[in-house]
Every structure is written in structure tokens, then in C-alpha cells.
Amino acid sequence: MSASSSAVLPASTDVLLIGYGPVGACIAALLGRYGVSTLVIDRLSEILLIPRAIALDNEALRVLQMAGLEEDAFARIAIPEVRMHSPWLGQFARANTAGSIDGHPRLVTFYQPELEQALRRKVAEWPSVQFCSGLQLVDLKQDADGVTAEVQDAAGVQHEVRCNYLVGADGASSKVRNLIGQDFQGTTYSEDWLIVDASQREGKAIDHIEFICDPRRPAPHMPAPGGRERWEFMLQPGEQAAQMEQPEQLAALLGRWIKPEELHIERQAVYRFHARCCDSFQQGRVFLAGDAAHITPPFVGQGLVAGLRDAANLCWKLAWVSKGWAAPAILASYDTERRPHARKMIAMAKQMGHLIMPRSILRSLLIHGLMRLMGLVPPLRAIFEELQIKPANRFVQGLFAKGRMTGGQLAQGLVRPTAGSIVLSDQVLCDQLSLIGFGVDPQALLDEPERASWRARGGQFIQVGLRGQQASGSSTFVEDMSDALVPAIKPGQVAVVRPDRVIMHAGPVGQAAQMVRECLALLD
Ligand SMILES: Cc1cc2nc3c(=O)[nH]c(=O)nc-3n(C[C@H](O)[C@H](O)[C@H](O)COP(=O)(O)OP(=O)(O)OC[C@H]3O[C@@H](n4cnc5c(N)ncnc54)[C@H](O)[C@@H]3O)c2cc1C
């Protein structure tokens, strides 16, 4: 990838990506991996340094793995638990975030600019992706064959770029969203919060996340890599950003945790948190992703996470269409699959805000008292403590055959390839559509024309064996070292797994050929 100005702006590209924030960078990294010709533009050249996302879950980390980021590409702190404190009742609830799911910690904190740098470094490895900074989208027009975008450079000169598909990852005030008539409708939940990141907190910061649930001034608080610690304070009616960001005000707010002489403020900002989702993530050849499509209060750390899920879902579909392996009709499944889940996450974030941080003392005593009582009953406690309230990342409708196993993601575990060292299983699935035989060689279940038509659509064959089993055919063989994959789908079963790890089809070996035919038909 090259970073350049409008002087080398190409006249046409397959995908024009507007916005090079974290979601745009993840999309660019994925499209680069798939080899799709992509032009990324952003009105800025630099990464924003303002305090924004700080927490990512295992699903987000798995998408970043798909985008090619190594585990050490950016620093992270694994968070073992989230504690909720009431000024009157003490700790009234906790969420257990220790351990890992699908090979990644359940919850980490990180430093957003460092993640964005890591993504941009990854994008730079792909020759099919070009980044031009200092350009902003001002208009777009669609016709039957493509999209024409008007982009303006810093000198005010307008340029035309023609593309097959345009993706708006241009943030909460998205111009793309505005141009396709999808502006966020209706009233919005809106609260002002002061975000403060302190530095030089090595050895002093807490090791978990805590929510100080005081209705007079709710304040979540958490550690972050690089010796940072963050506090978020809800503003009261009448409080102004300029006044709240004054050094003496910050020192007073943080006085409970840090002595004024030890206080080093790295950055602070007042935000108005909203909860909005547009009515469609697609119009014709134009798609919305990340904050351009949905915004949420950050109480459950899901804004960026939702954008990364968008990226994983959309990019392989664009790639398959661009390579001629799938019909453009499959692109409609991006909205069908992603929008309901994004809405559920927004609803959960609002609900959590109301539960954890009610605005009156009476309500907080009632709700937090009730939550404390619920904590005494194990099945009720698990709803909150084991994050059962988090909407499952499983689709009801979309680009998959209906079935008990389909529409959700295949688990990720540790596998050992033949004559290789142990790796996470997504490394083996890589960027392809996989026909996986569990305990069986999937190639042996198809005849040669079926195998050829599968390969011709970006398909590969993988045999997953139980620990200690040997390869029994010519498919790529891996041994399931953590028993994560085989229990998910029983031995003697076959599954079709999309490049975003969603199970597209699953069934007994006898149905393998039919399953392949049905999946190819879904791509037509
Ligand atoms: C205080 C705070 C805490 C948060 N905490 C979390 C958290 O813990 N976990 C989490 O998952 N999320 C969190 N979020 C949300 C997260 O930060 C956002 O969801 C994420 O940064 C959005 O990324 P994006 O790439 O969609 O948009 P942005 O980062 O806004 O990027 C949009 C890009 O588009 C460019 N652009 C805009 N218009 C144009 C145009 N017309 N032409 C060209 N370029 C354009 C902009 O310059 C920008 O670079 C938090 C947010 C805030 C404010």
C-alpha cells in the first residue's frame, strides 16, 4: 500500500473506502488480504489521538486476527473482572471477564492510536490497497455499473473517482450516510461525559474495571497499557465542557484516587454519547460500517467492536463478488446479518447504563439492592456475572442454510497441522471458504467435478482430527489439540465455514455433496 496525496489519485478502483479510522483500517487490511483493489481516502493524514475506545472483547480480537494482526501487534491488558460499587451498598455486582474464548482474552484494554498504527502497518503490506490522505468525500452518484464519487483535496480542487463499490467508514457524522439518505432518525439517548486519561500510573493503576455507580456522579474507571489509567465522569445538567476540563477541576475529580502532585493528565475530552442505528447499512453499491452505521454509549465497550464485526462480515463478501466467485446479490446479507445484532448491542448498552448508573438515589438503591440480592441466587447471578446478557453473535437470517448449527461462528481452538507447530485454528482456515470434515476427509465425500467447482469459488478442504488421529486423505489435516472444534461439531459431521468463520452449513457426511451444492447456490 502507498500513502499519498491527491497527485496520484487513481481514476478508478474496485472498492472506494471513505474513512481511515480503526474500522476503515480494518476493512482496508481485510480487503488487502483478499487482494481487492481498494482506494482509501481520509480528510486527515494522522491518526486521531483523542481518548476513545479502550476495551475490546474476544470477538473483536478474533477479527483483528483475521485482519492479520499478531498477538503482540499492539499492547493489551487482560481484564479479569468488572466490579460495580454503590456508595451505600458497597460492591453489588461483578462480571467475570477472566479467561479466554476462541483463543482470545474475554476482555482487554488497549490504546486506540496504537491499534490504528498496527492496522495501518498491516495495510501497508498489501499492494492492492492505496491510501490518499487530505481528501474528503463531498458527493456520490450511483448508476447500474458503479459509483462516481466527488472528492475534494485540501486546496478545494474536486476529483472524480469511479468504483464498483463504496464503503462509508467515515464515522459518526458520516457524509456517506447523509448522501444515501440514511441519517440517524428520531430522538436519541444523549449524555455528556468527561473522559480523562492519566499517565505514569505504572504499578499504581487498578488491574480490573470498576464502575463507581454514584447517581450524583457515575464514574467508570480502568487501567490501560503504557502506564495509563482512565476515568469517565458523567456531567450534571448545567456543567460545561470548558469548565470541566480545567486542570483544577480534573485534580478535584481524581483526588479520590491520585494526589494532585502525582497527577499527570495525558488527554481529556467531553463527549456527548448517543445511541443510534440507521435503517439500512446498504443502498445499492454503497455500504456503511462502524460509527457511520451505528453509535452506542461505551458502557459495555462495544462501539468499535461492532464496527470490527461489520468489517469481517462485509469484506469477504465484497472480495468474493469482486473475484467473480459470488453474485452481487449476496451483498444484501451484510445488512440482514449485521444490523439486528448492532441494534441489540445498542439496546444492551442503554439498558446497562440504566441498570448500573441510574440517575436518582432512590432508583439506584432499589436497582443495586435488587442486583445484590440476585447475586445470592446462582442462576440469576450468572446472567450478569457470566455475561449471559450479551447478545450472542449468531444470525437469525442471512447467507447460510437454516439449521441448528448454522448462522453462528465456528469455535476457535489450538490445532496441530501435519508436521507443524501448534497454531490457532483460524490460521488454518485463513481467507477461504472451508469444507471441514470432522474426523473424515471431506474431499473423499465429493466427486472430482464437485471438488473442482468448490475450489473455483474460493473453497478449500480441511480435515479436523481428534487428538492423536492421523490424516486419512488428501485434505489439509489438523489435529484438534484443545478439543474446541470437535465437540462443537461431532466427529462424522461436515461443516461449511465462511471466511468470517460463520458456519454456512453443517450436517452428516452423507450430505456433504448436497451441502456444497446448496452453499454454491447461496453464492449465486
Ligand atoms: C470516550 C469513548 C470511549 C469509547 N470506548 C469504547 C470501547 O471501550 N470499546 C469500543 O469498542 N468502542 C468504544 N468507543 C467507540 C469507538 O471509539 C468508535 O466506535 C470507533 O472509534 C469508531 O471508528 P470508525 O472507524 O467507525 O470511525 P472514526 O474513528 O470516527 O473514523 C472516521 C474517519 O473518517 C474520516 N472522515 C470523516 N468524514 C470524511 C469524509 N467526508 N471524507 C473523508 N474522510 C472522512 C475521519 O477523518 C476519520 O478518520 C468509545 C468512544 C468514545 C468516544
Domain identity same for 468 and 334: no
pLDDT tens digits for range 177-199:
999 999 886 566 788 999 999 99
Strands 76-78 and 107-110: antiparallel
Which residues of the chain are under the pLDDT cut of 70? 1-7, 185-188
Domain identity same for 168 and 27: yes
Q: How many CB atoms lie within 10 A of CB 262?
A: 12
High-pLDDT (> 90) share of the chain, %: 84
C-beta of residue 49 within 8 angstroms of C-beta of residue 114: no
pTM exceeding the 0.85 threshold for the entire prediction: yes
Asked if the structure places residue 97 within a domain, the reply is: no
Report how far ligand 1's centroid is from the alpha carbon of 306 (Å). 11
Distance of CA 387 to CAs 77, 98, 202, 383, 384, Å? Answer: 19, 11, 29, 6, 5
Last residue of a domain, one of 345, 367, 395: 345
How many whole angstroms separate alpha carbon 380 and alpha carbon 386? 10
Q: How many CB atoms lie within 10 A of CB 155?
A: 7
Determine which helix (DSSP H) or strand (DSSP E) holds 86, and give its type and residue range.
strand 81-86
Residues in the chain: 524
Domain identity same for 50 and 174: yes
C-beta of residue 385 within 8 angstroms of C-beta of residue 508: no
Domain identity same for 34 and 173: yes
The three-class DSSP label of residue 45 is coil
Domain identity same for 325 and 465: no
Mutate to test the pocket of ligand 1, among 304, 305, 308, 341 (most ligand atoms within 8 A of CB): 304
Residue 13 belongs to domain spanning: 2-69+112-183+275-345
Q: How many domains does the chain have?
A: 2
Burial class (CB in 10 A: 0-12, 13-18, 19+), 381: middle
Last residue of a domain, one of 300, 315, 345: 345
Domain identity same for 425 and 513: yes
Asked if the structure places residue 405 within a domain, the reply is: no
DSSP per-residue letters across 153-213: ETTS-EEEEEEEEEEE---TT-HHHHHTT-PPPS--EEEEEEEEEE---TTTS-SSEEEE-
Asked if the structure places residue 84 within a domain, the reply is: no
Mutate to test the pocket of ligand 1, among 26, 152, 291, 310 (most ligand atoms within 8 A of CB): 291
pLDDT tens digits for range 158-177:
999 999 999 999 999 999 99
**Is residue 458 lining ligand 1, measured as CB closer than 6 Å?**
no
Residue 187 C-alpha cell reads as 430522538
Last residue of a domain, one of 322, 345, 368: 345
Residue 138 Cα: closest atom of ligand 1: 41
* pLDDT for the residue 301: 84
* pLDDT for the residue 2: 45
Within 8 A by CB and 6+ apart from 273, the residues are 189, 190, 191, 192, 193, 297, 298
Residue 135 Cα: closest atom of ligand 1: 43
Report how far ligand 1's centroid is from the alpha carbon of 307 (Å). 9
Domain identity same for 420 and 507: yes
